[in-house]
Structure 1
Amino acid sequence: MSLRTLSAATSVLALAIAGIGIQPTPARADEGMWTFNNFPIAAVNARYGTSIDQAWLDRIQNAAVRISGCSASLVSGEGLILTNHHCVVGCVQDLSDAQNDYVKNGWMPATREEEKQCPGQTAEILTQITDVTDRVLAAGAGLEGAAFVQARGAETQAIQQEVCGDDVKLTCQVISFYRGGQYALYKFRKYEDVRLAFAPEFQAAFFGGDPDNFNFPRYALDFGMLRIYEDGKPVETPNHLTWNPNAPKEGDPVFVAGNPGSTSRLLTISQLERLRDQVQPLTLIQQSELRGRMTQYSFTDEEAARVAVDPIFGLENSFKATYGQQQALLDPDFMQVKRDEEARIRGAVEADPDLTARIGDPWADLEAIQARATELYLPYRQLEASAGGGSTLYSMAKQIVRASKERAKPANERRAGYSDGDLANLARRATQAFPIATDLDQIQLTFWLSKTREYLTVDNADVQRLLGRESPEALAARLVSGTGLADPARRGELLAMTPEQLAASGDPMIELVLRNDDAAQALRAGWEAGVSGPTARAAEKVAQARFAVLGSNQYPDATFSLRLSYGQVQGWTYRGTQVPAFTYMGGLYDRATGSQPFVLAQAFADNEAKVNKETVYDFSSTNDIIGGNSGSPVINAAGEVIGAAFDGNIHSLGGAFGYDAELNRTVSVSTAAITEALRNVYDQPRLLAELGVE
């Protein structure tokens, strides 16, 4: 599995939800993705006999790293970062070409000077957490709908600007917790020069492919290494995790520090039902069909197969995750538990006249909002939230058009995310050079245009404006072949233009975005007025109810912000079958069949005689994680890194909505296996020495 943030699936889930639920019971067993300023230290120490304290937490926080869509950690004093291979494979592919396929053969520079920058990659380390709840809640007082959303956005923008200003070395992010119950400013130290230090062969990292995805036992060497640089030199990072080359033992307490992307455990029944009935089925249909188109393209020639590897991997992962989530929502027993929990909380509110007078019935409010969301969802999804269908060229054109329109406004009237500092950051990113697989972009555009026409109908005025008299296929081909957006210099020129200049630029992709933008912006405004604004208002009230009934010692839903989960190394039993906690490197050779996806990576085949087959390869633990935790360090009680989380088992797919202590498991590659591979498979004494391993 890829535990990296499932961008398409989670963005659709987020826009569909735009709301709030409740956590009906205190965390049980090893449940919870806890913030670092509310970690249950005493409960964990009592449960596992550990001696965790605030200093221990601070060391872990200072070594945890957030990268694009994934998690990571510092593992040396010279800026070396451990993460998953599937978190860096996009970079590996960007550095590859038809003559040098580093995805297939691995990226293994002989010297540090040969490490190359990953286009668009950043690394962020959390340095400060500040509660800003009162300011954010006050900003929306007395407002409703779109005005409420805009006022909240302006206030969060102001808070971020006050602390970080236009400093390119900092990131400030106001994050909502408990779906509107609390807000905190997270301040990060940001590094924009992130270079690829090591990546094994794709076949080693993803051995077993989609059949083994979300399953265990696994035999995947899913790790990669980055390095942060500043002023052309590796960053000194004394606050790093110590590398432990020894495997854990069953029952050992372990901790996972990372950035889980999105969970929906606090949703109300009405919200879950709309997910089940509208959002998830549509998402599954589109993911499945697009995967088929991408797979068909990958069969055309070797170059097509090379550039399609990572996109297909992402689609397969997203489809499987969405399917597993939908099965949880279709389970009547699971839904009944949710109904019972909601009824218990609502009953407690109804029994408290003062609380009822203060918050009313936000659950009923949310039920009414779902009816409006059902009506607005499809056009909003197709023309705004998922416009472009994942096309890189369309996404860049949309950013340029929106930036131009917002820049023309007075600074205090712009939407959140378009301050002068934000626009400067966009300009830096937009002018970076990186390869674009235009064939894949054309497939994504064609698919989006055809599905938009299919769902909204040929007679829809917005569809007619979008397509004119062209077919989706012909329009997508013309856009991709005619746009200049693949050239970073041209992107910079377009980004500096006014809306009028963009309209006269002659770039067909810019023209398409301009044709769609008025309708898309109107749909966004309607969504904010009818769905996200009222939902946010109801969110405050449900959060108040939750805190009143359950107290404040609860963990919030995941928000791709730094969290810490605790657990122990452990297998599980399902329908009478016991699944052990460990796999061993010798099992890789036993599992290999010579046919994909069970083909040995070449380096593993060549060096079989050198490999210690008793080395623990992958292991499972009870830690509570979700997409976005990819690359998270698995840490022992001494604060040493002993693995990198890369997967969840098949039972954890329902973890978006709840945690099952008996079945949910995290799957990680051990540092023991990584050490063995660096020593006896890939011959990397330089990296071993940096990790402090002889």
Structure 2
Amino acid sequence: MKLRSALIAGVSLVSASFAATSAQADEGMWTFDAFPTERMTKDYGWAPDQVWLDKVQAAAVRLTGGCSASFVSPDGLILTNHHCISTCLFDNSTSENDLLEKGFIAASRADEKECPGQQAEVVTSISDVTSDVKASFAGMTGEALTMARNAKIAEIESANCNDLATERCQVVSLYGGGEYKLYKYRKYSDVRIAWAPEDRARKFGGDPDNFNFPRYSMDASFLRAYENGKPVSTPSHLEWNPRAPEEGEITFVVGNPGSTSRLYTQSRLAFNREVQVPILLATVSEFRGRLINEMSQSAEKTREGKDTLDQIENSLKVFIGWSRALNDAGFMGRLAAQEADLRAQVAGNAEIGDPWSDIDAAVAGLRNVYLSNRYDTPSGDLFGYANSLVTAAIEREKPNAERLPGYTNSALPLLEKNITDAKPIYPWLEEMWLEWSLSKAREYLGVGDPQSQLLLGKESPEALAERLVTETKLADPEVRKALWEGGMEAIEASDDPLIQYALRLEPLQRQNQKWIDENYSAPLSIANGKLADARFAAYGDSVYPDATFTLRISYGQVKGWEERGQDVPYRTLMGGTYDRATGYEPFDLPSAFAAHKGHFDADATYNFVSTNDIIGGNSGSPVIDRDGTVIGTAFDGNIHSIGGNYGYDGTMNRSVSVSTEAIQVALETLYPAPNLVKELQGG
């Protein structure tokens, strides 16, 4: 809910396709049930065996906030990024005790603080359900296809997860519909923060350094998973290895990359370039300006808005990177050539036919309805609560197989947790989200558009946002819990203005979703299945599925690159922080660094880069060496990696990680946590 629906709505309406040619060099976000052992052995003379892979899979963690992590002790200790848990710190902060600003060190396990809405998940099995899912919609088209597929997925998920308190089942579409896999997870719904450095240490360099290198960032934190009030037992965990990485050594990044578009067909890339990304750049840039202006009004608003500003600025930089890649003639030319090669290899194959033309037609239709779909759901946490409560109440009255995705039995426990967990709400920020999204809807749809009139009635965006936020009671988690438990009867009886507003918009949202299901999702399901067949026929099993926020493993090596004729080194040293500091934000020295200068090894490796193929969602992924020990946690990519959404360039794309050597220094000296040091050492 933190990324607010209207910010990223429509960026990826369906699952992506996958690489048109066989993966080269260190490219690839591979599933654990299809690791390219032969290919890696050819590249590096060695590859991990199944025992190695099984152990790593059992230690890898998915965080439902959109990040990755790993168990690093037998008592449920989880290593991840600071920016992955900044919202947890933010939600546990007050004006008198700003944990995000000063950091947090739990004196004991009893002091570890719960993270609202957070859940940790570990894959326990992956099984192929392609034949069952595809058989469910064989011969169908349009909305009937989508409904039949969704019903079969709901059936499979329900049949395979009986204990919804500890298990989660998720059927995932891979290769754009070429395969369907059932991922079964062991989940932990009680996740608490154990250690985090001050925000300045993580954000040193700020937005100017974001997606750049050299970096000097302590973007690392520790969580702990609990169950029944006690830390969980995690015998399958990674060994903590606080050493410096060596240039050229093999590294693995294991995590849950969010979403990639390798390779969309040319018409889908054109839609991104000409429609989606320009709107994102324009509207999100405006919101950033509004937010910065409002935060400047008081110290309290500065504190309350900074977590949102971090997310906005990170998203904006991603959108800028997408735009750069989509408008790079050379890069786009290579993608076009790859598509042409594939088409040539399967030309004349009657079973495959011409799926490209089918996708072209679906995208052409989407262009006509995109704005309506994008602007049918206003932004903000409060409206998000209302919208989820209304939709859940409607869907829960239906049989499980007939519900919308996201509202089936397997999905409801996490949805309930997100709705009912207590977290702070800031009315001024909620008004800003609502006002901005409503004003953009009116701007792009037009004042006379029926949807604009439905959204606003006779009110202005400003007046409507103020009224809804001022009069709603949904900031109270007990009110939300009562509405959840009361179901449709409680929703219909509610006089809460946000609930009534969500009820007003729900038919529009359902109508728009129906159009997408019938005219876009269904045709693409069939066409992408044929594209998958084409690619398998042309390139065999040397292709990997696009990212879907499911567990993947990439391999590569610690290695710098060349930038404008200059060698970029593979690492930075902790002492370099002092040289880079200017005394002015965002290069002002973290307080712990200032206080402990000369008290730690300045030559300790701080951040390092590797050729591992990663994307958003990999944040917090462990960086693992050949021996299966963790030597870092990935937190970013360089600026070239943003174009990795559409394709990988091994000469330039780099992942950026914090070394365990640096984290150990922080745990021992900068932000001392002797209990964690002992735990990581096996004591």
Distance 2:18 2:212 in 1: 30
Higher mean C-alpha deviation, range 675-684 or range 316-325: 675-684
* Residue 392 (1) aligns with residue 368 (2): no
Distance 1:572 1:427 in 2: 46
Cα deviation for residue 485 of structure 1 reads 0.7
> Counterparts of 1:33-432 in structure 2 under 5 Å?
33-67=29-63, 68-350=65-347, 353=348, 355=349, 357-383=350-376, 387-389=377-379, 391-420=380-409, 422-423=411-412, 425-432=414-421
Which string of whole-angstrom CA distances, capped at 9 and with x for unpartnered residues, describes residues 7-52 of structure 1? 876653212xx36545221111100000001111232233223351
Change (3 A) 1:421 1:582: closer
Aligned-partner SS, 2:375: helix
Aligned-partner SS, 2:458: coil
CA contact (8 A) 1:127 1:187 kept: yes
Q: Which amino acid aligns with 2:386?
A: A
Which string of whole-angstrom CA distances, capped at 9 and with x for unpartnered residues, describes residues 161-208 of structure 1? 000035210010001111111110000000001010001000001110
Distance 1:247 1:654 in 2: 29
CA contact (8 A) 1:165 1:421 kept: no
Q: Which amino acid aligns with 2:362?
A: I
* Residue 445 (1) aligns with residue 445 (2): no
Aligned-partner SS, 2:243: coil
Change (3 A) 1:676 1:164: same
> Counterparts of 1:381-530 in structure 2 under 5 Å?
381-383=374-376, 387-389=377-379, 391-420=380-409, 422-423=411-412, 425-497=414-486, 499=488, 501-530=490-519
CA contact (8 A) 2:382 2:474 kept: yes
Cα deviation for residue 685 of structure 1 reads 1.5
1:674 to 638, 663, 671: 663
CA contact (8 A) 1:5 1:69 kept: no
Change (3 A) 1:9 1:266: farther
Distance 2:649 2:493 in 1: 57
* Residue 627 (1) aligns with residue 621 (2): no
CA contact (8 A) 2:28 2:554 kept: yes
Change (3 A) 1:612 1:267: same
Change (3 A) 1:686 1:500: closer
Cα deviation for residue 504 of structure 1 reads 3.7
CA contact (8 A) 1:618 1:667 kept: yes
Cα deviation for residue 433 of structure 1 reads 1.4
Which string of whole-angstrom CA distances, capped at 9 and with x for unpartnered residues, describes residues 285-328 of structure 1? 11111111111111111111111111111111111111111111
Unpaired segments of 5 or more residues in structure 2? none
Q: Which amino acid aligns with 2:539?
A: L
RMSD of aligned C-alpha atoms?
1.7
Cα deviation for residue 415 of structure 1 reads 2.7
Q: Which amino acid aligns with 1:31?
A: E
* Residue 580 (1) aligns with residue 576 (2): no
Distance 2:18 2:627 in 1: 34
Q: Which amino acid aligns with 1:367?
A: D
Give the match for residue 12 of structure 2.
Answer: 14
Change (3 A) 1:249 1:368: same
Aligned-partner SS, 1:129: strand
CA contact (8 A) 1:611 1:680 kept: yes
Which string of whole-angstrom CA distances, capped at 9 and with x for unpartnered residues, describes residues 143-170 of structure 1? 1111111111111111000000352100
Aligned-partner SS, 1:673: helix
CA contact (8 A) 1:262 1:627 kept: yes
Which string of whole-angstrom CA distances, capped at 9 and with x for unpartnered residues, describes residues 662-685 of structure 1? 000000000000001111112221
Distance 1:650 1:687 in 2: 34
CA contact (8 A) 1:324 1:654 kept: yes
Which string of whole-angstrom CA distances, capped at 9 and with x for unpartnered residues, describes residues 188-231 of structure 1? 00000101000100000111000000110000000010000111
Cα deviation for residue 6 of structure 1 reads 10
Distance 1:421 1:44 in 2: 36
Give the match for residue 613 of structure 1.
Answer: 602
Give the match for residue 26 of structure 1.
Answer: 22
Aligned-partner SS, 1:609: coil
Distance 1:364 1:152 in 2: 23
Give the match for residue 592 of structure 1.
Answer: 581
Change (3 A) 1:314 1:32: same
Aligned-partner SS, 1:37: helix
Change (3 A) 1:279 1:626: same
Q: Which amino acid aligns with 1:463?
A: S
Q: Which amino acid aligns with 2:497?
A: P
CA contact (8 A) 1:128 1:186 kept: yes
Cα deviation for residue 424 of structure 1 reads 5.1
**TM-score (ref. length: structure 2):** 0.97
Identity %: 49
Q: Which amino acid aligns with 1:275?
A: N
Which string of whole-angstrom CA distances, capped at 9 and with x for unpartnered residues, describes residues 71-129 of structure 1? 00001111100000000000000110011001111011111110011111100000000
Distance 1:551 1:650 in 2: 32
Q: Which amino acid aligns with 1:555?
A: Y
- The count of residues paired between Structure 1 and Structure 2 equals 681
Aligned-partner SS, 2:138: coil
CA contact (8 A) 2:6 2:378 kept: no
Distance 2:5 2:433 in 1: 15
Aligned-partner SS, 1:625: coil
Cα deviation for residue 554 of structure 1 reads 1.3
Cα deviation for residue 622 of structure 1 reads 0.4
Distance 2:412 2:234 in 1: 30
CA contact (8 A) 1:462 1:516 kept: no
Cα deviation for residue 609 of structure 1 reads 2.1
Distance 1:272 1:513 in 2: 33
Q: Which amino acid aligns with 2:165?
A: V
Q: Which amino acid aligns with 1:680?
A: T
Aligned-partner SS, 1:13: coil
Distance 1:6 1:258 in 2: 23
